[in-house]
Chains A and B, each alone.
Chain A
Amino acid sequence: MILAYLPYAIAAWVFLWGLYGIVTSKNLVHQVVCVAILQTSTYVLLLAIGYKVGGTAPIFADIPVGTVVVDPLVQALMLTDIVVEAAVMALLLSMVVKANELAGTVDPEELRFLTG
């Protein structure tokens, strides 16, 4: 029975690890990767929510309408989510690269232009 909640627990687990990575990161590139990990937790959650026991993929190319399929909506949401991830990652990475070009470091401890 506890197994039935394992996917949600794993989503939370991945989420917290992502947060941990971001908080303790010593390198902005590493931090950006941790953000990506953090996002995968949302995939796990959505996937588990939309799953139906014995359901097949919601593609009626060779199965009749009415067969048990998993929920297509969460998959649509995940597709959007993945594009968002790609976009945000590209932007964050180029910020990091530019910061390295201008400041010569990607260690958040040394990037202290905004304090007080």
Chain B
Amino acid sequence: MTTTVIPLPIAVSLIVAAFLAFAGKGIGRRACDLLAVATAAANLWMTASILHGTWLQPQVYWFGNWWPRSGGVALGISFVVDTFGAALALLVSLLTLAGLIFSWRIFEDTENHFQPLMLIFMAAMCGFSYTGDLFNLFVFFELMSVSAFALCGLKTLEPAPLQGAYNFAIVNTIGAFMIVMGIGLLYARTGALNFAQVGRSLGTHADALVLLAFLLMVVGYLAKAAIVPFHFWLADAHAVAPSPVCVLFSGVMVELGIYAVARIYWTIFAGALGGHEHELRLILTIMASITAVLGAVMCYAEHHLKRLLAFSTIAHSGLMLIGIGLLSPGPLAGFVLYVLSHGVIKGGLFLCAGILLHRFQKIGEDHLHGCGRGMWFTAALFILGAWGLVGAPPFATLLGEHFVSHSAEAVHQHWLVYIFIFAEVLTSAAVLRIAFRIFFGWGQPAPSDKSSRIEEKAETEQSHERTPAAMFLPAAVLILLGIAITFFPQIRNTATDSAHEFTNQGAYARSVLENVQITSTHERQSENLSSSMVHSCIALAISVLLALSTVFREKLGRAVSFTRSLELGNSWLRGAHSGHPGDYVAWLSFGTAVVGLAFLLWLH
């Protein structure tokens, strides 16, 4: 049953997208919405059944029945669906569904081209998480990017969205070319494109060529994952993209970049680079920590709601890269749990921002000050979201953080725990600060900065008295899902098991090329959450205090004057985020050079 379903999430949504693109004008707005929502729902069902079918036994699907030849030479393309890929695809469909339902009441003037693009975007991300082939991964990466560029520039009435989409497009396109070059280099060495085959013929020897290929791919995918210094595009794109699109950008697209790095590392490079695991771990975790810290600092200094959330996404994507960068199954399981829970929470928060934009036609914290009085439900969602970002119980982000920090201590990297606390405190305090100011009208209005004045035309025509259910329900459901994940212990058990399976290169290769299933045996993670709970509760307390002392700065006096500078941020850092594509590309090449030199010096 499962094997026939595997290609359908891509095929069906692509066909429907093509139909909508043609008939969209003819059949009218509502019919388009209905068809798109129905397709997304069907996709949700299909990806769910695929996840069910691949529960701890990866499914290999050879397109065109081109099974590998004798000697494990694969001419065709294969989908290798394991639990992680399937779970990510499920998240993709879920968030797309939420976004489409949310957009029910907005975008009157898009000639109904919005829905097909969303469906293509969804199909691309599903294929990206299923595929087992290097070039196919690139194709879906590019399909994902192109539909994302188009969706980002959706609101073409003011120049800002175009600039955001343009910067996004430039940086990610260069990343894509780097990926192609990396693929070419690997192909020159191995004459293969299938993950398993490439990894097998790379063997255990890593020379400069392999390192260069690894570098180019890692940079390409980390540019999508918004890791410093490749992150500049993300804030611009999120600040201007429509809220339902931001849900997909922050909720899953960024995470897919990190997922791709994990995938290619453990299927291709693990054998070749295994000898230098320690150095590679250091490089990746340092990049990740810089990202987390910088993202958190910039996040607290922002006053444009979506841009603030965008920087918090950068911070969290850094935390997720820590999960990968520790290069062992435990934190990888943490990574997946973190992606799932962060995806739904951040998605819900972006939808809340969309609700505010829908109600008041403005998005700057200073302009919105006190506007939200009486919107108790949205306020509750905001505060719950902040709660989730800090990873406090009962949110499932706690589990992810626990798995990662637990094994960070195992490899004597205790400092990573403090990175987690720092980033989570600042990001959630920023969201709380917003909630206090906008919904309770506490304290003085926020200081306004240039970015908070980014002109944000409303996604709907005139301001509205009440929040439509089509907007509130998706947000609520998403954020509550962030809690629900915690109460399914089998989810975290499966995460641990499939993490071991994910990191077992030999078993992967054999299951793909010889179609032999190997069940690896291993010990379960320690389920003692107490220490992490203490950590996260302290973090929550700190972030609440920080938010309060920021809001009531004037009353509390000099003791908390540091919050002012914290809220204004570092002018140099702000200046670096200049919105100038040339700067961004210069930073991209700088990062590539530095990481490349580090690879050559330490891994060679």
Contacts and interface: CB of A to CB of B under 8 A. Distances in A.
B240 A22 contact: no
A25 B156 CA distance: 24
B49 interface: no
A33 interface: no
B170 A35 contact: yes
B585 A28 contact: no
B576 to A, nearest CB: 10
B312 interface: no
A113 B160 contact: yes
Contacts of A91: 146, 149-150, 169
B187 A49 contact: yes
Nearest to B301: A116
Interface in A65-116: 73-74, 77, 80-81, 84, 87-88, 91-92, 95-96, 98-99, 102-103, 108-109, 111-116
A114 B173 contact: no
Contacts of B569: 116
Interface stretch (B177-185, B418-426, B544-552): B177-185
Interface string A1-19: 0000000000100010001
A5 to B, nearest CB: 12
A115 B449 CA distance: 10
Contacts of A88: 142, 146, 169, 173
A81 B184 CA distance: 12
Interface string B555-569: 000000000000001
Contacts of B578: 112, 115
Nearest to B146: A87
A96 to B, nearest CB: 7
B163 A19 contact: no
A111 B149 CA distance: 18
Contact of A28 (B153, B164, B166, B302): B166
A108 B589 CA distance: 19
B207 to A, nearest CB: 15
B159 interface: yes
B454 A92 contact: no
Contacts of B135: 77, 80
Counting chain A CB atoms within 10 Å of each CB, which of B162, B187, B455 scores highest? B162
Question: Size band of the B side of the interface?
Answer: 35 or more
B451 interface: yes
Contacts of A102: 156-159, 162
A92 B166 contact: yes
B594 to A, nearest CB: 15
A63 B432 CA distance: 72
Contacts of B443: none
Contacts of B16: none
A-side interface mostly: helix
B170 A31 contact: yes
A96 B166 contact: yes
A38 B159 contact: no
Contacts of A113: 158-160, 163, 454-455, 579
Interface in A30-63: 31, 35, 38-39, 41-42, 45-46, 49
Nearest to B569: A116
A99 B181 contact: no
A38 B174 contact: yes
A68 B240 CA distance: 54
Given A23-B586, A49-B184, A80-B139, A115 B577 contact: yes
A2 to B, nearest CB: 17
A11 B184 CA distance: 12
B127 to A, nearest CB: 15
A23 to B, nearest CB: 5
Given A31-B581, A99-B162, A39 B177 contact: yes
A96 B159 CA distance: 10
Contacts of A96: 166
A113 B159 CA distance: 7
Contacts of B188: 49
Given A42-B180, A116-B451, A108 B580 contact: yes
A82 to B, nearest CB: 12
B184 A22 contact: no
Interface in B213-238: 235-236
B580 A109 contact: yes
A95 B451 contact: no
A109 B582 CA distance: 9
Interface in B136-165: 139, 142, 146, 149-150, 153, 156-160, 162-165
Contacts of A73: 187, 193
Given A19-B585, A22-B581, A116-B450, A98 B149 contact: no
Given A111-B163, A113-B455, 10 more contacts: A25-B582, A35-B173, A38-B177, A49-B185, A91-B146, A95-B165, A102-B162, A113-B158, A114-B164, A114-B451
30 contacts: A19-B589, A22-B170, A25-B582, A28-B166, A31-B170, A35-B170, A41-B177, A41-B181, A42-B184, A46-B184, A49-B187, A77-B183, A80-B139, A81-B180, A88-B173, A95-B149, A95-B153, A95-B162, A96-B166, A99-B159, A113-B160, A114-B167, A114-B236, A114-B240, A114-B451, A115-B451, A115-B577, A116-B450, A116-B574, A116-B575
